[in-house]
């Protein structure tokens, strides 16, 4: 039986894993990302941990899949991220391949998360699936019949950068009115800061649940689940825009299922209930749909499982 390595590089955490040829997770090593230490520190960590995993199995390790938390040029197997210093233009796929001596494939975390949920999570059994990760930003991946839809310029699935309004804050992509600037974790926290400045007496519970400092999306969602009025108002504003974005996806692609992943989606029922309220308001009596909207079952591990799926794919070539 052959094994594969999987790597998930995130802005906060990173993971390396060993998987068998059925996609079962055998071993995982996790660590906190040191942004200050930079790219070289991360590369050394990844190489050392991957070699450690390879040493713990008697089975051949045939390939490695890599998930990177930021923009990636799939064709050149390089990182294009401008958000993390030292990574822009770096040929990560090639570097890992040379370091480990096995074939490696790199993709962004949204596409990797899509593959993970499609093969091993909430998308199992579906013919078509759209995965949307809602964290600091919004990323997504589209899977049809087992394959990622990439598009002519390898830009298919940039749902976070669909303009849903002609106003709003400037998005991280440089545009204005993007879904990400209305419904991401960053947008949630920005609205919370506005409330804290204008109505500080209304945000006490959100501050408490966020650890006493700046309000986090997680703390806000927890407060909303408790019925906090201000948190519920921000949640409704967030899901009102998200519903518009999801309805566009449904009308254009009509997938079997939309899977919501990322930190914000881990709030579960409180997010889905609010989202369905606005989807019902936007519904057309003549254009109906049966697309399911669910939360990811693999949680934070969706991209790692997707990286394993990439490794398994190239190991079979």
DSSP per-residue codes, 10-78: -SSEEEEEEEETT--EEEEEEEE--TTTHHHHHHHHHHHHHHHHHHT-SS-EEEEEEEESS-EETTTTE
Q: Which of 235, 241, 240 is nearest to 164 (CA)?
A: 241
Length of the chain: 317
Smallest CA-to-CA distance from 203 within 222, 163, 176, 231 is with: 231
Question: What's the pLDDT score for residue 123?
Answer: 96
Residue 168 has pLDDT above 80, yes or no: no
Q: How far apart are the first and last CA of the chain?
A: 16
State residue 83's pLDDT score.
61
Say yes or no to pLDDT of 114 above 80: yes
Task: List for the chain the helix, strand, coil content (%; round to 5).
Answer: 45, 20, 35
Q: What is the pLDDT of residue 174?
A: 82
Distance CA 92, CA 14 (A): 15
Instruction: Indicate if the pLDDT at residue 138 is higher than 80.
Output: yes
Residue 11 binned pLDDT confidence (cut-offs 50, 70, 90): confident
- Topology classification of domain 125-296: Nucleotidyltransferase; domain 5 (3.30.420)
Q: What is the pLDDT of residue 98?
A: 95
Q: Report d(CA 245, CA 138) in Å as an integer.
A: 11
pLDDT at 84: 67
308, 19 Cβ separation under 8 angstroms: yes
| Block residue for tokens 């087992």 | 146
28 pLDDT above the threshold of 90: yes
- The beta-carbon contacts of 279-283 under 8 Å, at least 24 apart in sequence, are 279/243, 279/246, 279/247, 281/243, 282/243, 282/244, 282/247
pLDDT tens profile 201-223: 899 999 999 998 899 999 999 99
pLDDT at 191: 94
Per-residue pLDDT at 136 exceeds 90:
no
- Classified by CATH at the fold level, domain 3-116+300-315 comes out as Nucleotidyltransferase; domain 5 (3.30.420)
Q: Which pLDDT score, from 0 to 100, does residue 154 have? A: 86
> Stretch 27-38: mean pLDDT, rounded?
89
More confident residue, 85 or 132: 132
Spatial distance between the Cα atoms of 11 and 234, rounded to a whole number of angstroms: 25
Give the separation between CA 232 and CA 188, rounded to whole angstroms: 11
Mean pLDDT, residues 167-192 taken together:
89
Predicted TM-score of the model (pTM): 0.93
pLDDT at 65 over 80: yes
Distance CA 236, CA 250 (A): 20
Mean pLDDT, residues 161-187 taken together: 88
| pLDDT the model gives residue 82 | 60
**CATH 3.30.420.40 domain residues, the chain:** 3-116+300-315, 125-296
Mean pLDDT rounded to a whole number for the chain: 93
User: What percent of the chain shows pLDDT beyond 70?
Assistant: 99
C-alpha 222/C-alpha 41 separation (Å) is 35
Distance between CA atoms of 97 and 150, rounded to whole angstroms? 23
pLDDT in tens, 224-267: 999 999 999 999 999 999 999 999 999 999 999 999 999 899 99
């Amino acid at each position: 039986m052959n094994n594969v390595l999987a790597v998930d590089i995130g802005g906060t955490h990173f993971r390396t894993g060993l998987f068998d040829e059925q996609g079962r997770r055998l071993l995982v090593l996790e660590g906190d990302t040191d942004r200050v230490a930079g790219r070289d520190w991360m590369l050394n960590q990844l190489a050392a941990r991957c070699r450690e995993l390879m040493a713990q199995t008697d089975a051949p390790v045939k390939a490695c899949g890599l998930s990177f938390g930021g923009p990636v040029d799939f064709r050149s197997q390089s990182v294009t991220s401008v958000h993390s210093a030292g990574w822009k233009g770096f040929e990560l796929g090639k570097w890992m391949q040379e370091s480990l001596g096995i074939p490696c494939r790199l993709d962004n975390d949204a596409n990797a998360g899509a593959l993970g949920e499609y093969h091993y999570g909430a998308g199992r059994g579906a013919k078509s699936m759209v995965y949307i990760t809602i964290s600091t930003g919004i990323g997504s991946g589209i899977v049809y019949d087992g394959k990622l839809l990439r598009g002519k310029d390898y830009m298919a699935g940039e749902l976070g950068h669909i303009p849903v309004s002609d106003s709003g804050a400037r998005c991280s992509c440089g545009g204005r009115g993007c879904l990400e600037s209305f419904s991401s974790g960053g947008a949630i926290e920005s609205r919370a800061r506005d409330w804290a400045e204008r109505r500080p007496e209304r945000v006490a519970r959100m501050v408490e649940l966020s650890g006493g400092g700046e309000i986090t999306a997680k703390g806000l969602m927890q407060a909303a689940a408790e019925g906090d009025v201000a948190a519920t108002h921000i949640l409704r504003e967030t899901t009102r825009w998200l519903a518009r974005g999801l309805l566009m996806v449904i009308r254009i692609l009509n997938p079997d299922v939309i899977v919501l992943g990322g930190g914000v989606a881990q709030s579960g029922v409180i997010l889905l209930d609010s989202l369905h309220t606005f989807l019902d308001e936007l519904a057309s009596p003549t254009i109906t749909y049966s697309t399911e909207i669910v939360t990811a079952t693999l949680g934070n591990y969706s991209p790692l499982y997707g990286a394993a799926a990439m490794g398994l794919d190239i190991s079979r070539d």
